[in-house]
Amino acid sequence: MNGKVVDVLQRDGDVLHWLKQAGVSVPKVGPAAARMSLLNSARTLRENIRSLVEKHKAGKRADPSVLNRFLSRARSHSRLVWNKPRSVRIEKVRRKDTAEAILGPVAEAAAELLARTDFELVKRCEDETCVLWFTDRTKSHRRRWCSMLLCGNRHKVAAYRRRLRNNG
């Protein structure tokens, strides 16, 4: 806000809300969850992923040990679900008793991104007040902002105001 970086993750509940918005199954908050410091773990994982992405983009080698620690503690297994005669599927069942296990899907997504994504398509948002990165999946690969609704709109409004000032 006002040119300053604002961390939207301030409490464990903020992390759970963010995970839920991202489509990750989150545990019900109970006494065990309150003791696990989900916030600190989420911030550690986030900063490590950011560092790995930046170094990968720059063509440098990085140390994946923090991400690998989260991956090793994610603990999940496959389960066959057969509810109807012609409806058989495999689902991933995850433990949710540690911060690393809760954040496991994020760590797995980061590992997939780092190992399998064409990094020519990984970009940092062009809004100088934004810290987000994104994968440009547009046909022309000319996407500039993490979100057209937020950063793109902010850029367009600022450009409009500059034009008004210069012409007025």
| Whether residue 154 is found in the same domain as residue 112 | no
Is there a domain that residue 1 lies in?
Answer: no
Least confident of 54-58, 66-70, 97-101: 97-101
Tell me, what's the pLDDT at 159?
86
| Whether residue 13 is found in the same domain as residue 94 | yes
| Whether residue 141 is found in the same domain as residue 61 | no
| Whether residue 50 is found in the same domain as residue 104 | yes
Is there a domain that residue 163 lies in?
Answer: yes
- pTM for the model stands at 0.82
Tell me, what's the pLDDT at 1?
57
Indicate the burial class of 75 (C-beta count within 10 angstroms; 0-12, 13-18, 19 or more): middle
Please say which residue of 99, 116, 133 terminates a domain. 116
Tell me, what's the pLDDT at 30?
56
Tell me, what's the pLDDT at 35?
55
Tell me, what's the pLDDT at 46?
97
Average pLDDT over residues 129-144: 94
9 has a pLDDT exceeding 80: yes
Please say which residue of 96, 116, 136 terminates a domain. 116
Distance (Å, whole) CA 100 – CA 107: 9
| Whether residue 77 is found in the same domain as residue 156 | no
Strand residues in 27-164 grouped as ranges (E): 76-84, 87-94, 122-124, 133-135
Tell me, what's the pLDDT at 113?
97
Q: Which of 66, 67, 55, 166 is closest to 112 using CA atoms?
A: 67
| Whether residue 34 is found in the same domain as residue 112 | yes
| Whether residue 103 is found in the same domain as residue 141 | no
pLDDT band at 4 (very low <50, low <70, confident <90, very high): confident
Tell me, what's the pLDDT at 145?
93
| Whether residue 95 is found in the same domain as residue 52 | yes
- The CA-based angle 144-116-24, given to 5 degrees, is 80
Tell me, what's the pLDDT at 67?
98
| Whether residue 30 is found in the same domain as residue 112 | yes
| Whether residue 100 is found in the same domain as residue 158 | no
| Whether residue 69 is found in the same domain as residue 49 | yes
Is there a domain that residue 2 lies in?
Answer: no
Share of residues in the chain with pLDDT > 90 (%): 70
Strand-pairing partners, residue 78, are 92
Cβ-contact 146, 125 below 8 angstroms: yes
79 has a pLDDT exceeding 60: yes
Distance (Å, whole) CA 79 – CA 1: 45
10 has a pLDDT exceeding 60: yes
| Whether residue 60 is found in the same domain as residue 91 | yes
Is there a domain that residue 16 lies in?
Answer: yes
Is there a domain that residue 144 lies in?
Answer: yes
pLDDT in tens, 103-131: 999 999 999 999 999 999 999 999 888 89
The structural domain count of the chain equals 2
What DSSP state is assigned to residue 83? E
The residue range of the domain holding 136 is: 118-168
